[in-house]
Amino acid sequence: MKWNIKKQQWVNSFSCNHCFKVFETKYTLATHIKKFHTKLK
């Protein structure tokens, strides 16, 4: 149980940073793709 709680805390702090970075990249990627597709059309 102790290890589980420690792991959960680590996962939570990791996912916060990770999710933010993923969200950032996904957002920039989406805008990039939109711009690219509009140029294509």
Provide the residue ranges of all domains of the chain, joining segments of one domain with +.
1-41
Percentage with pLDDT > 70 across the chain: 46
Q: In whole angstroms, how far apart are CA 20 and each of 10, 24, 32?
A: 16, 6, 18
Indicate the pTM of the whole model. 0.34
| Distance, CA of 39 to CA of 23 (rounded, Å) | 24
More confident residue, 39 or 10: 39
The larger pLDDT score, comparing residue 7 to residue 23, is at 23
Which DSSP string do the residues of the chain spell out, in sequence order?
Answer: -HHHHHHHHHHHHHHHHHHHHHHHHHHHHHHHHHHHHHHH-
Q: Residue 36: is its pLDDT beyond 70?
A: yes
